[in-house]
Structure 1
Amino acid sequence: MPKSTLGVDVENNFTPKYVSLKAKAKVIKELKEAVKNSKAIYLATDPDREGEAIAWHISEVTKANLSNPKRVVFHEITKEAIDKAFKNTRELDMDLVNAQQARRVLDRLVGYKLSPLLWRKVQRGLSAGRVQSVSLKIIVDREREIEKFVSTEYWNIEALLSKK
């Protein structure tokens, strides 16, 4: 997504707008060339939604998706784990990719829209985020409850009665 703009088409189902970094043009060109001359494509990024999205982006930018790339997932860097991962490849998990895109779009919408408002209305340099803003509200609400609390004296009496 571009750094200087929102990078989200809010009029078109909140579609993210992706751009390739100019600094990575050489790497992208080399990857495209490697994909062109490859019999099989294996994508071995981190085993989480961010890694899945990176694998998808590599597939998209190199057109590796036309070669049916295989996703390789492992949780430890050992010979056994890597061998097992290559024997158990899978397709890209688009649910994970979409989850990462949703998180990224929300980060942009909240951060890019609310942070400038905070700068104008409260203080320059403040930021708003999809998680930190909600967390801060919960903390403030709880602090207000604590401040409003009025203690009252009360007594508990317990008795154990028996018939003689």
Structure 2
Amino acid sequence: MGVQFPTERFGPFAFLLNFLEEVLRFWLWAYFKLFHAMRWRGLHNIPRDGPCIVAANHTSFYDPAAVGTPIRRRMRFMAYFKFFEFPGIGQLMRFAGAFPVDTARADRGAYERSLRVLRDDRDLIIIFPEGGRSRSGAVNPLKPGAARLA
């Protein structure tokens, strides 16, 4: 899912995780190309390293994977905090680099976590600034967090 496993924590297993990441990336890329005729544009605007914010519209549950698949660097995601309460799902999301955000309020903890991701870890963070999926496909009003981070 644009998954970037946190391999630095896994020492001798890092090679295996990197391999699995590439396999998963290939299958996701093939899936999105074949079944959704997905085209990614503007990838040249994403730096190879250093802090970066990718802000995207959010119309489907596929979006984190669709946005992250072509990005070939370590990335993190904000995700709705309730998803982390589901057994297994929360652990998988954390493993894939997601961290919780309460979109109903100004979540200071998620904001500070995002700052650490950008400033200290120098990672890329993917944010869906609408704060949730748009069921109609139209862009919902944007929350100020992504702009504030930038």
Determine if the TM-score, normalized by the shorter chain, exceeds 0.5. no
TM-score range, shorter chain: under 0.3
Calculate the TM-score normalised by the size of structure 2. Answer: 0.25
| Bigger proportion of residues as strand | 2
| Bigger proportion of residues as helix | 1
Calculate the TM-score normalised by the size of structure 1. Answer: 0.23
Higher relative contact order (CA 8 A, sep 6+): 2
